[in-house]
Amino acid sequence: MAGSPIVKKGKYQMNITTTVIGSYPYARMTPEEAIARAVDEQVEAGVDVISDGQVRADMVGIFAQGIAGFDVQGKKYNVVSKIGPADKAVSIGDLIIARDRAAGRAKVKGTLTGPTTMAHCAILMNGSPYKPHDMPKGAQSMIVDRELVMDMAHALAAEARFLTEAGFDTIQVDEPFFSMQDLDLDLGLEALGVVTKEIKTSALHVCGDITSAMKKLIDAPVDIIACEGGHMARIDWLTPAMLAEKKKQICWGVITVNSNDVETVEEVKVRIMTGVEKLGAENLLVSPDCGMRVRKPEAAKQKLVNMVLATREVERELA
Ligand SMILES: [Zn+2]
């Protein structure tokens, strides 16, 4: 790291924001208990921007239940008529519980499931005005009716507006499908822009390998792009100057979520420094790679503790 032009020691008042992607373990608890635990453990770990733990339903179901045009049957998100906004916010109740519980100890961010992911998970039934999904031979992604994606975007924009009006300034939009091969990313980003227009500080989270999608994601209409640091590290064309020009920050995933093995502080520091050396500390936030719903609660908590300890050590070393 010494001698790297990107690691500007002492130049900045180092403050790397720590955050989470969203979900937190919640088995065998009421939603209210699970939100309280998620908030307390994120705060105790020292995370700067926390979530409500997304403890209520799966990421599609929670919004499909409220958006007009859906008829949700268990895990089947049936679309039976034209998609339109819910008449009230569907995700705000848990966010307000979380904000009350946090009581100023950390900032709470909202999380929305993006229009592309919602559209791909929709099952078109009789009465739906949309063209059927098409799966071209050999392709890895379906072709989904543009009208469906854009109607979903306007419905989610209404949700974003409700959250913004309630004072949730930071809202993350999750689009796990954006890393899929053959997906219409141009349409996806256009739809995303309809949603983020209603958000003050917007983040986009994409799961999995974003190394090829990043060529387009770098122009996504968002302030922050959140993805796995392990994949980000393999992108050789991304520079601090480019991030400055595009007015973007990267939320660099430094914690694996597919194992209960807890990374040591030293291991996490190495991952953070990989991001700092590549993109500059001023362009970074850090988080786990993805949501932690399926982890053991003790592992989830300790992973966050070590993530924050490692970040604070990196800040001290760069100061
Ligand atoms: Zn993810």
Tell me, yes or no, if the pTM score tops 0.85. Answer: yes
- Calpha distance 259→34 (Å, rounded): 21
* Ligand 1 midpoint to CA 30 (Å): 24
pLDDT at 6 exceeding the cut of 70: yes
- Condensed to tens digits (0 to 9), the pLDDT of residues 149-201 reads 999 999 999 999 999 999 999 999 999 999 999 999 999 999 999 999 999 99
* Ligand 1 midpoint to CA 228 (Å): 8
- Condensed to tens digits (0 to 9), the pLDDT of residues 114-153 reads 999 999 999 999 999 999 999 999 999 999 999 999 999 9
* Ligand 1 midpoint to CA 265 (Å): 22
By DSSP bridging, strand 224-228 and strand 249-255 are parallel
* Ligand 1 midpoint to CA 257 (Å): 9
Determine the pLDDT at residue 319: 87
- Calpha distance 319→312 (Å, rounded): 11
Determine the pLDDT at residue 11: 57
pLDDT at 2 exceeding the cut of 60: no
* Ligand 1 midpoint to CA 208 (Å): 7
Q: Considering only CA atoms, which of 106, 112, 110, 113 is closest in space to residue 39? A: 106
- Condensed to tens digits (0 to 9), the pLDDT of residues 254-302 reads 999 999 999 999 999 999 999 999 999 999 999 999 999 999 999 999 9
The amino acid at 122: A
User: What residues sit around ligand 1, an ion, with C-beta below 5 angstroms?
Assistant: 207, 290
First to last CA, the chain: 14
Dihedral sign, CA of 194, 60, 93, 291?
negative
Chain-centroid distance, C-alpha 113? 9
pLDDT at 52 exceeding the cut of 90: yes
For the domain made up of 17-318, give the CATH fold: TIM Barrel (3.20.20)
* Ligand 1 midpoint to CA 290 (Å): 4
User: Under a CB-based contact definition with an 8 Å cutoff, are residues 288 and 19 in contact?
Assistant: no
- Structure confidence at residue 3 as a pLDDT band (50, 70, 90): low
> Which backbone phi and psi does 262 adopt, to 5 degrees?
-90, 125
Domain residues of the chain, as ranges?
17-318
- Structure confidence at residue 57 as a pLDDT band (50, 70, 90): confident
